[in-house]
Chain A
Amino acid sequence: MNSGTLMRQVRLLRLLRQVRLVRLGVTRGLIELRQSLTYWPDVFQNFFFSGIQILVLFLMRGHHVPGTTFSLGSLTLPSIIGMGFAFTGMLGVTGLLTVDREDGTLLRAKATPGGMTGYVLGKITMVSVTTLIGVVATLILGLIAFPGVHLTAAGLGTLVWVAALGLLATIPIGITVGSLIPNPRFLPIFILPFAALTAISGIFYPITHLPGWLQAIGQVFPMYWLGLGMRAALLPPHLAAVEIDGSWRLPLVFLVLFLWSVLGLSLAPAVLRRMARHESGSRVAERRERAMVRGR
């Protein structure tokens, strides 16, 4: 056997290990997904928020978009789908990561060969599928109960790429932020800015009615563009008139989400690695002591 063949075999072996690891990560994600779907506190938490959102939507159904006869509920439903990405992908991932770090899940991953890769892939799988279940559920509800929400072939195409970019733009950012936060008690700090961001992202209230500087801030973050992209996918074309520039601005939706994906994907692995490098048994023990003192 010459050295070229040997090299090829080594490379093939490595590739097989990688493939195996990806499969393990996905399996891990699906196991955790099943657990969260069959664990009633989780189920309750998920249903509680979706329930409130849907209730709000129904209450808005009778109202009309100013100057039109279009239902306000139907306008908001696609926006809420867009918001869901930002919510699970960013806030959700940040929360999961800080909790897993505090309780030692991450340290166990680190002590296992390939464990960190499996852990991260598992989280991405679980969060992606959870988000998509939410999207599909809200979508079905919209198509059945909200007049004006409809899905054409072109709309489906838009929905798919906006959803894919939405996951890519939000999950890596969630991982980055989650790696930077020292412990879960910092999470509430993010709730308020997140609510503020929702308010200026044109989800429940049209962005065009806000002062210019707020519109500018809202348009920096992915949430506005996710909402806009989903409205473009699910609403009749004439409703674009109420948007900025009277257009869905799909090329810009693509560009902004793409840039957030690039930013997130270039930051997340390094920040995550740096955080994982500092994990050790004594760190987890310190956090446990502190949490015990607080009496949790």
Chain B
Amino acid sequence: MSDVAAEVRGLRMRYGNTDVLDGIDFVVRTGEVVALLGPNGAGKTTTIEILEGFRARSAGQVSVLGADPEHAGEPWRARLGVVLQSWRDHAKWRVRELLHHLGAYYAPYSTAEITRPWDADELIELVGLTAQANTRIAHLSGGQRRRLDVAIGIVGRPELLFLDEPTAGFDPAARREFHELVHRLTDREQATVLLTTHDLAEAEKLADRVLILAAGRIIADGSPSELALRLSAQAEVRWTVDGQRFVHPTEDATTFTRKLFAQYGEAVEDLEVRRPNLEDTYLELVEEYEK
């Protein structure tokens, strides 16, 4: 297996006179969980649908699992997983029945390394639907239905999994439950995942690497902690000396505090080093680019 799962160079998408994507570049390495983070309308869904092979691009090079999604065939499709936002499709099917049926399409694409498809019962257990295995899909709750969507997305044991706004419209409990499921999956299968979200906290929680997309461009690319550092370079140091309060913004809080102690020694009290809220900085950055 190549160590690059997907590569995008100079990707552009134009609808009429508007550039939705204005030349984006990124690489997803095998085994990585990458989040495409950005506000609504930034072009996240367009990007992921181009990579899924569901949408034709205007310009640029795209390679997903070594093939151009626009021209790749069914054997390529068999190596991908797409978690779709369901609505009311297959309402009359039962959970196991549907997973078993959809899984069967992947059987001819089994390889020595990857046995396809996933056993339906095992998969049902993994997503926590054992009690609902014989339930009609129409009777599942919203959260259960979403877990089934994930199960359908991974039934072919994908080498690359796409999740588009996976927790849109979730309440906090359902969101946490979903995050746990993705963690379980990535720990166990070491799958490569590309997900889109407009929620910074979600990107931080799930992803090894975050790409921030705004106004059709990638404006930042790094691990959540790298981004946190980069986005909030200015730290604030607060302290008191002799009952007097001081506040000082600095790029290098460590050096600054060292100097502070060198100068005042034990007179320094109530020391606090504070980084600005990551979310505020992120929103500021996005706003700046969207202008």
Most chain A beta carbons < 10 A, residue from B46, B49, B92:
B92
For A111, the closest partner residue in chain B by CB is: B82
**A249 at interface, CB cutoff 8 A:** no
Q: Pick from A2-10, A60-68, A76-84, A276-284 the stretch touching chain B.
A: A276-284
Number of residues on chain B facing chain A (CB within 8 A): 34
- Bound Cα distance A84, B88 (Å): 29
Number of residues on chain A facing chain B (CB within 8 A): 32
Q: Is the CB of A282 within 8 A of B45?
A: yes
Q: Is the CB of B93 within 8 A of A31?
A: yes
**A285 at interface, CB cutoff 8 A:** yes
- Bound Cα distance A24, B108 (Å): 12
Q: Is the CB of B89 within 8 A of A113?
A: no
CB distance from B24 to the nearest CB of A (A): 17
- Name A118's contact: one of B46, B85, B105, B156 (CB within 8 Å): B105
For A104, the closest partner residue in chain B by CB is: B89
- Bound Cα distance A111, B108 (Å): 16
- Name B152's contact: one of A108, A110, A281, A285 (CB within 8 Å): A108
**A231 at interface, CB cutoff 8 A:** no
Q: Pick from B70-78, B222-230, B263-271, B276-284 the stretch touching chain A.
A: B70-78
On chain B, the residues within 8 Å of A20 by CB distance are: 107-108
On chain B, the residues within 8 Å of A118 by CB distance are: 105
- Name A281's contact: one of B45, B74, B101 (CB within 8 Å): B45
Q: Is the CB of B105 within 8 A of A108?
A: no
- A27-47: CB near B (< 8 Å → 1, else 0) gives 110011001100100000000
Q: Is the CB of A288 within 8 A of B87?
A: yes
User: Given A114-B74, A281-B45, A281-B49, does the pair A108, B97 have CB atoms closer than 8 Å?
Assistant: no
22 A/B residue pairs, CB under 8 Å, sorted by A: A20-B108, A21-B105, A24-B101, A24-B105, A31-B93, A100-B89, A103-B87, A104-B87, A105-B89, A105-B90, A111-B82, A111-B84, A112-B105, A112-B106, A113-B78, A113-B105, A113-B106, A113-B109, A281-B54, A281-B85, A282-B45, A282-B46
Name B's A-contacting residues (CB within 8 A).
Answer: 45-46, 49, 52, 54-55, 74-75, 77-78, 80, 82, 84-93, 97, 101-102, 104-109, 152, 156, 164
